[in-house]
Amino acid sequence: MRFKQVATTIVLTLGFFSCSTRAQVVATWTGTNGSWSNAANWSTNPSVPVNDTSSGYSVYISGLSVDSPTVTFDLGVGSITSLQTDFGAVLQDNGRAPILNVVGSSTNFGSAPVTNYGTINWRTGVLNVTGDYYQTHFGQGFTTIGDAAVLNVGGQFTSAQAGLFTVSQGGVTNVGGNFLNGDGTVGTIGGTLQVGGSYQNGFAATTTVSGLLGIGGNVLNGYTFDISNRGIVSVDGNFMNTPEMSPSTLDIRGALNVAGLFTNDQGDVTVRSGGILKSGSYVQSSLGGGNSSTEVAGTLLTSSYQQTGGDTTIDKGGIISANTFTATSGMVTVNGTVDPAAVEIGPDATLQGSGMIIGNLAMGGTMSGGDTLTVLGNYQQIGSGTLDALMSPVSRVLLDIHGDAALGCGSLLDLVLTDGYDPLGHTFVIMRYDSLVGRFANGGSFWDDGYLWDITYGQNEIDVTAVRTPEPRPLLMLGMGLMAIVLFKWLGHR
């Protein structure tokens, strides 16, 4: 669904509880553990804090003046203007599906209609909040929506200072505005969280999804975002994975669907085996100077993949499917599959791996390694593009092209030997193809890594053969002769 519907749903749900003009009364919990309906537990005794035509109640459950009380809401239906739970205090429902409506726009305490410094545990029934919901207080702001409960928040939900928000299996939370996880922990443990606005996962914040998370706006992940193998996240806007003060990580074992642009700037994105990331387009950059990485062992689906910095790795069994794949900088390692219409590697980028590219490959950067990369399409080496082949006793063809090959006038071949390997007299296949146009700029023979190599351009492959080692240079021989004469004369005068 489009999550703009969330806001409409909440307005329809909560609109009936709008607050009319009435005297505001602060009701403070004075008991220990007890029931909401017992007037003796309230400073408003003999009145129980429930809004009526004459009075609106701002409820304050203190955990400081009273030793960690647990308050059980046991009314069938009740409305109050605002709610604040203090450090150590617990508010819970009675397990009989009650409905509590918090209908104010602010509290008498200068914050959101619901301010949770303690614990709210809603296991059954409905908790409706017309305005904002705020929880904090250094690890003590806990909210749990149970397996038979619904939380509706018309405004913004904020979890800060190590607050904890959990939607258990079967539970549902609808937020009409934005969701700000400042530095807390948010988990949909089999439950559903629908956000009509944007979602921000800030510094030191963690979001874990093993249920459903729907977001109508954009997502900014600045720290840790995990999607389990049972988790599904749908984003109607864009998704940006970028650190606020430390590396941001996105780990996908389930499914992430982003309708717009996905940007990974100085963060780490991992799509595990079985995981799926789908986006309108994908950009990886390192604009702030830090490194970015994308590792795909599952599936990444996008219309275009663009790398301007960092590293992309497609593991064995992994696949990136896109109409175009472009890397202008950084490293691209293909041990799995890239399935685009075209792949282009720019001058400052390097391609390596033993996987497969299903499409045409234009190499303007460096093709590196000693494994075989298969190209199911045509190959074109452009500009000063370089084939950098690592030579060893077990070297295999570097490029296996199931199509046509074209070498531009600036194309280079660079051969690098493994430590101590003597290739003299051995022939190596560098490239296979259906047909070839052009030659390397190295010429028919060239010196590289201490050996003279001959290049053979065959009908369907290019071979190189190490034909000899360097001969002593004339100047070097002359210098050694002069040194011998000087040494001889010196010895003769002793």
- Residues 173-194 have a mean pLDDT of 94
pLDDT at 183: 84
Q: Which of 433, 426, 429 is nearest to 413 (CA)?
A: 429
DSSP 54-82: SEEEEEEE-STTTTS-EEEE--SEEEESE
Task: Supply 137's token pair.
Answer: 């207080």
CA 383 – CA 409 distance, rounded (Å): 8
Instruction: State the pLDDT at residue 437.
Output: 97
Q: Are 271 and 252 in contact (CB under 8 A)?
A: yes
pLDDT attached to residue 245: 67
Strands 268-271 and 299-302: unpaired
pLDDT at 14 over 80: no
**Do 275 and 255 meet the contact criterion of CB atoms below 8 Å apart?**
yes
Residue 483's Cβ-side half-sphere holds a number of Cα atoms within 13 Å equal to: 6
Q: Where are the domains of the chain?
A: 4-362, 363-494
Contact 115, 91 (CB under 8 A): no
How does residue 12 score in pLDDT terms, banded at 50, 70 and 90?
very low
d(CA 342, CA 377): 9
Tens-place pLDDT, residues 254-297: 999 999 999 999 999 999 999 999 999 999 998 866 789 999 99
Quick one: pLDDT band at residue 163, thresholds 50, 70, 90? confident
Higher pLDDT, residue 231 or 109: 231
- For the residues 437-444, what does the mean pLDDT come to? 94
Average pLDDT over residues 333-356: 95
pLDDT grade for 440, boundaries at 50, 70 and 90 = very high
Q: What is the pLDDT of residues 62-84, one digit of tens each?
A: 876 567 899 999 999 999 999 99
Reading the block at residue 7, the tokens are 């806001």
pLDDT at position 27 is 95
Max Cα-Cα span within the chain: 124
Question: How far is 367 from 378, CA to CA, in rounded Å?
Answer: 15
Least confidently predicted of 34-43, 139-148, 171-180, 464-473: 464-473
Q: What is the mean pLDDT of residues 243-253?
A: 87
Question: What is the C-alpha to C-alpha distance for residues 210 and 228, in angstroms, rounded to an integer?
Answer: 5
CA distance 386 to 492: 56
Question: Is the per-residue pLDDT at 226 higher than 80?
Answer: yes
Confidence of residue 488 (pLDDT cuts 50, 70, 90): very low
When pLDDT is averaged across residues 173-191 and rounded to a whole number, the result is: 94
Structure tokens at 191: 């439950």
Beta strands 451-457 and 445-448 are: antiparallel
State the pLDDT at residue 110.
47
Dump the DSSP string for 172-186.
EEEESS-EEESSSEE
Residue with tokens 């992994």: 318
User: Among 118-122, 165-169, 471-475, where is mean pLDDT lowest?
Assistant: 471-475
Nearest to 293 by CA among 309, 272, 273: 309
Q: E-strand spans in 395-485?
A: 399-401, 404-407, 412-417, 427-432, 435-437, 445-448, 451-457, 461-468
Q: Tell me the pTM.
A: 0.89
Q: What SS3 class is residue 478? A: helix
- Cα–Cα distance measured from residue 304 to residue 325, given in angstroms and rounded to the nearest whole number: 6
Interatomic CA distance for residues 369 and 489, integer angstroms: 53
Average pLDDT over residues 119-131: 96
Cα–chain center distance at 409: 41
How far is Cα 195 from Cα 173, in angstroms, rounded to an integer? 8
d(CA 176, CA 482): 90
